[in-house]
């Protein structure tokens, strides 16, 4: 999809389709009012005849409106004017794009970015419009022998009335496109079945990014390298699998060599069967998305490189399957992590923290400014917070604050949970330095407490994306989150 920007007023647009907003109850936005005037009040009359009120997500398609220069007009409901906020803006764009997909229009102009939104500038509206449009048009049909008829729509123009700062709008458009592409990559990887998306496949994806972007350098450690280093926790998870584990590092250099990097660590369990502590059969297929943390790291690194951000960013991806077998790690087994701390593995299904702890220790070598890990880590997070925010815990308040802020701005939100010392007791065991599970209470927090024991040497935050990386139900599939959150955090750091 090609995107561009225009400041031409709606009545002068010779377009296949013009999308304008309508508020409840039948209050025209200024773009809608200008078109209405041009066609002698027809829009207002049609809305009444057709009983369109302007509720959020409502749409109407009008053809051959007399005196209009455009071929079609889409009226997009925006809800009540005084309740019009970030979420409504995104919803109206999503509904409009869903409608546009099937109209036969090859190109369309969306006038919604001219609507006023409290505390949001043109750049924000453009970025969000591009993201919402991309998200609505995304399809994953790699494995369907009959593809859905491709939409004719190939060009969306965003109309804004702000003539000043055109450079900001163009920059925002590029940012939106890069974030959308990164988030699509993450979605594709999450949707790929585990017989395609293996640890080797993730490594190949990283290599492909290296090939596409001069500023990305990739290295892949093999099992024997991990043995040499002493990654006993990661290797314990990898034991049961036939697919060889890979430890992938991507380094994006956009700033001076001496600038400390931001390190992103992504959980890359390409299939989580639970191992010997095997999961129940129902919905086990969904555990192909247990590499979504890794997918979001790849998507974010790609977007950084596309935008040539003036930062150094490192991606670290421990990638493996978690499988039962005669050679698999067993409950009660004790392993030594890369940090030297010993772990009694009481539940082989708590594997995410085992691969992450070695990746976190490994991150020390980059002398990081901050480390953020991203992981579909606990079912408990979905119970605690549902699927709207990612869970967020960390050892450095300013970093946690910045991530919450980036979540609010991007609409890809996170909510903090307490990382208090009191919870650490739940990881006590008689047989090793710690156990890998802390019982049913506060499962997301005890998982983070476990990771906290490996992050004492740097500023660190943890995003639990078990609830946000995946849609269940009829929209079943990967969401591409939290690429928008991470990218907004990084963009903020460039200011
Ligand atoms: N990958 C799962 C977490 C998960 C569950 C993600 C549901 C998305 C949806 C993780 O490896 C896991 O199995 N966690 C266990 C931890 C428990 C054994 C302490 C869980 O959440 O049940
Ligand atoms: Mn598990
Ligand atoms: Zn898992």
Residues 82 and 186 in one domain: no
Output the residue whose Cα is nearest ligand 1's atom 16. Answer: 350
- The tens-digit pLDDT sequence of the chain (495 residues) is 999 999 999 999 999 999 999 999 999 999 999 999 999 999 999 999 999 999 999 999 999 999 999 999 999 999 999 999 999 999 999 999 999 998 999 999 999 999 999 999 999 999 999 999 999 999 999 999 998 878 899 999 999 987 767 889 999 999 999 999 999 999 999 999 999 999 999 999 999 999 999 999 999 999 999 999 999 999 999 999 999 999 999 999 999 999 999 999 999 999 999 999 999 999 999 999 999 999 999 999 999 999 999 999 999 999 999 999 999 999 999 999 999 999 999 999 999 999 999 999 999 999 999 999 999 999 999 999 999 999 999 999 999 999 999 999 999 999 999 999 999 999 999 999 999 999 999 999 999 999 999 999 999 999 999 999 999 999 999 999 999 999 999 999 999
CA distances from 38 to 10, 67, 177, 476 (A): 10, 6, 34, 44
Range of the domain at 153: 2-139+149-161
Q: What is the dihedral of CA 417, 420, 422, 424, to 10 degrees?
A: 90
The stretches of 274-390 forming alpha helices (DSSP H) are 292-306, 352-363, 379-385
Measured from the Cα of 351, ligand 1's closest atom is 11
The neighbour count for residue 98, using CB atoms within 10 Å, is 14
Output the residue whose Cα is nearest ligand 1's atom 13. Answer: 349
Smallest CA-to-CA distance from 205 within 172, 171, 163, 248 is with 248
Output the residue whose Cα is nearest ligand 1's atom 8. Answer: 466
Q: Is 176 in the pocket of ligand 1 (CB under 6 A)?
A: no
What separation in Å is there between the alpha carbon of 267 and the centre of ligand 3?
Answer: 8
Q: Indicate whether 174 belongs to any domain.
A: no
Output the residue whose Cα is nearest ligand 1's atom 22. Answer: 379
Instruction: Report d(CA 404, CA 462) in Å as an integer.
Output: 12
Residues 156 and 184 in one domain: no
Q: Is 378 in the pocket of ligand 1 (CB under 6 A)?
A: yes
What separation in Å is there between the alpha carbon of 156 and the centre of ligand 2?
Answer: 42
Domain boundary among 101, 131, 161: 161
What separation in Å is there between the alpha carbon of 403 and the centre of ligand 3?
Answer: 23
Q: Indicate whether 418 belongs to any domain.
A: yes
Smallest CA-to-CA distance from 418 within 442, 390, 439 is with 442
Q: What is the CATH number of the domain that holds 71?
A: 3.40.220.10
Residues 290 and 404 in one domain: yes
Q: How many domains does the chain have?
A: 2
Domain boundary among 103, 131, 161: 161
Q: What is the dihedral of CA 302, 417, 344, 336, to 10 degrees?
A: 40
Residues 240 and 110 in one domain: no
Instruction: Report d(CA 396, CA 290) in Å as an integer.
Output: 26
β-pair type (17-24, 107-110): parallel
* Top mutation candidate among 349, 429, 473 for ligand 1, by most atoms within 8 Å of CB: 349
Q: Indicate whether 455 belongs to any domain.
A: yes
**Residue 453, helix vs strand vs coil:** coil
The neighbour count for residue 271, using CB atoms within 10 Å, is 22
Residue 164 is predicted with a pLDDT of 67
Q: Is 380 in the pocket of ligand 1 (CB under 6 A)?
A: yes
Residues 99 and 213 in one domain: no
Q: Indicate whether 173 belongs to any domain.
A: no
Instruction: Report d(CA 272, CA 291) in Å as an integer.
Output: 9
Instruction: Report d(CA 341, CA 357) in Å as an integer.
Output: 10
Residues 188 and 134 in one domain: no
Q: Indicate whether 204 belongs to any domain.
A: yes
Phi-psi group of 93: left, alpha or beta (phi > 0 → left; psi -120 to 50 → alpha; rest → beta): alpha
Q: What is the CATH number of the domain that holds 435?
A: 3.40.630.10
Q: Is 484 in the pocket of ligand 1 (CB under 6 A)?
A: no
Return all residues near 471 (Cβ < 8 A) that are at least 6 apart: 387, 477, 478, 479
Measured from the Cα of 381, ligand 1's closest atom is 21
Output the residue whose Cα is nearest ligand 1's atom 5. Answer: 379
- Give 25's DSSP letter: T
3-state secondary structure string, 472-486?
CHHHCEECCCCHHHH
Domain boundary among 105, 127, 161: 161
pLDDT digits (tens, 9 = 90+) for 393-411: 999 999 999 999 999 999 9
Q: Is 321 in the pocket of ligand 1 (CB under 6 A)?
A: no
What separation in Å is there between the alpha carbon of 394 and the centre of ligand 2?
Answer: 22
Which ligand is closest in space to the CA of residue 347? 1
Residues 191 and 327 in one domain: yes
What separation in Å is there between the alpha carbon of 349 and the centre of ligand 2?
Answer: 4
Residue 288 is predicted with a pLDDT of 98
Residue 163 is predicted with a pLDDT of 74
β-pair type (107-110, 155-159): parallel
CB 463 within 8 A of CB 403: yes
Residues 232 and 86 in one domain: no
Instruction: Report d(CA 126, CA 147) in Å as an integer.
Output: 30
- Please identify which of the residues 91, 207, 279, 493 carries the catalytic annotation: 279
CB 159 within 8 A of CB 109: yes
What separation in Å is there between the alpha carbon of 444 and the centre of ligand 3?
Answer: 13
CA distances from 349 to 98, 304, 341, 426 (A): 39, 33, 20, 17
* Top mutation candidate among 276, 350, 378 for ligand 1, by most atoms within 8 Å of CB: 378
- By CB neighbour count within 10 A (0-12 exposed, 13-18 middle, 19+ buried), where does 300 fall? buried
Is residue 353 annotated as part of the catalytic site, yes or no?
yes
Residues 438 and 371 in one domain: yes
CA distances from 345 to 200, 377, 479 (A): 26, 16, 31
Residues 124 and 153 in one domain: yes
Q: Is 399 in the pocket of ligand 1 (CB under 6 A)?
A: no
Q: Indicate whether 130 belongs to any domain.
A: yes
- Please identify which of the residues 288, 353, 453, 481 carries the catalytic annotation: 353
Q: What predicted TM-score, i.e. pTM, was given to this entire model?
A: 0.98
Output the residue whose Cα is nearest ligand 1's atom 7. Answer: 379
Residue 34 is predicted with a pLDDT of 97
Residues 131 and 186 in one domain: no
Residues 306 and 439 in one domain: yes
Q: Indicate whether 170 belongs to any domain.
A: no
What separation in Å is there between the alpha carbon of 457 and the centre of ligand 3?
Answer: 25
Q: Indicate whether 168 belongs to any domain.
A: no
CB 315 within 8 A of CB 297: yes
Helix axes 199-212, 166-191, angle to 10 degrees: 150
Q: Is 394 in the pocket of ligand 1 (CB under 6 A)?
A: no
């Amino acid at each position: 999809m090609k995107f561009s920007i225009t400041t031409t007023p709606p009545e002068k647009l010779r377009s296949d389709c013009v999308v304008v907003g309508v508020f409840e109850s039948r209050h025209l936005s200024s773009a809608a009012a200008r078109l209405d005037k041009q066609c002698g009040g027809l829009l207002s009359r049609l809305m009444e005849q057709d009983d369109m009120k302007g509720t959020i997500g409502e749409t109407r398609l009008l053809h051959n409106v007399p005196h209009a220069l455009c071929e079609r007009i889409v009226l997009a409901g925006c809800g009540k004017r005084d309740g019009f906020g970030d979420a409504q803006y995104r919803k109206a764009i999503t509904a409009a794009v869903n409608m546009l997909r099937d109209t036969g229009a090859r190109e369309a102009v969306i006038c919604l970015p001219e609507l006023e939104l409290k505390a949001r500038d043109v750049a924000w509206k453009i970025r969000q419009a591009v993201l919402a449009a991309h998200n609505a048009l995304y399809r994953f049909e790699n494995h369907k022998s009959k593809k859905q008829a491709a939409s004719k729509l190939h060009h969306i123009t965003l109309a804004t009335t702000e003539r000043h700062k055109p450079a900001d709008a163009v920059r925002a458009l590029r940012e939106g496109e890069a974030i959308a592409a990164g988030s699509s990559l993450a979605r594709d990887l999450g949707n790929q079945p585990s017989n395609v998306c293996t640890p080797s496949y993730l490594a190949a994806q990283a290599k492909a990014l290296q090939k596409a972007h001069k500023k990305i350098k990739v290295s892949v450690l093999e099992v024997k390298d991990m043995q040499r280093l002493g990654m006993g926790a990661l290797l314990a998870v990898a034991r049961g699998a036939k697919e060889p584990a890979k430890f992938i590092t991507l380094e994006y250099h956009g700033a001076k060599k001496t600038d400390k990097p931001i390190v992103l660590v992504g959980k890359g369990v390409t299939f989580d069967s639970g191992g010997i502590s095997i999961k129940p059969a129902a919905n086990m297929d969904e555990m192909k998305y247990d590499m979504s943390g890794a997918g979001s790291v790849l998507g974010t690194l790609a977007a950084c490189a596309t935008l040539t951000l003036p930062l150094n960013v490192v991606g670290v991806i421990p990638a493996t399957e978690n499988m039962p077998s005669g050679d698999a790690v067993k409950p009660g087994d004790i392993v030594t992590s890369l940090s030297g701390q010993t772990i009694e593995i009481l539940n082989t299904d708590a594997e995410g923290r085992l691969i992450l702890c070695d990746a976190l220790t490994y991150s020390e070598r980059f002398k990081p400014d901050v480390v953020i890990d991203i992981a579909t880590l606990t079912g408990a997070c979905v119970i605690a917070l549902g699927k709207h925010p990612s869970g967020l815990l960390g050892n450095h308040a300013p970093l946690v604050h910045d991530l919450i802020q980036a979540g609010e701005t991007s609409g890809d939100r996170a909510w903090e949970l307490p990382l208090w010392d009191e919870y650490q007791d739940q990881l006590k065991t008689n047989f090793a330095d710690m156990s890998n599970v802390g019982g049913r209470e506060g499962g997301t927090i005890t998982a983070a407490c476990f990771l906290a024991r490996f992050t004492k040497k740097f500023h660190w935050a943890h995003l639990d994306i078990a609830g946000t990386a995946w849609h269940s139900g009829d929209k079943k599939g990967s969401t591409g989150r939290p690429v928008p959150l991470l990218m907004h955090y990084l963009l903020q750091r460039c200011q």
